[in-house]
Amino acid sequence: MAAATVNSNAAMSAAQAVGEFLQSPDDLLKVAAFRKKLEKEKASIDTRLKSGVKDQLDATREGLRKLFSTRNHIQSIKDEMQVVDALCSDPKNSVSTFDQISRVSICS
């Protein structure tokens, strides 16, 4: 519904612009120049739009690259934390004399 309104407003605006430009029969001779002017404006707008789209795509690519990099760093940290947790969870793995210490502590 909104797109139809925008299109009808644009058509009315364009018709008004042409109506203002063509106010006398002599103005018909200026149609070619008016067309060239409009084509230049359109080309300028198209160039700005392409540039804007390219900038947005570049920013999106960079954002995704950073997200993937961050995800990889987080996974690496998670893996390292799991190794640390495994080492700390069972002292038998890290203390070679654990059995002796355990026997001494039970006897005391």
Each residue's pLDDT expressed in tens, for the chain with a length of 108 residues? 566 675 677 677 777 877 777 777 777 777 888 889 889 999 999 999 999 999 999 999 999 999 999 999 999 999 999 998 887 776 666 677 777 777 777 765
Classify 29 in phi/psi space as left (phi over 0), alpha (psi -120 to 50) or beta.
alpha
Round to whole Å and give the CA distance between 90 and 87.
6
Domain residue ranges in the chain:
1-37, 46-108
Q: What is the pTM of this model?
A: 0.53
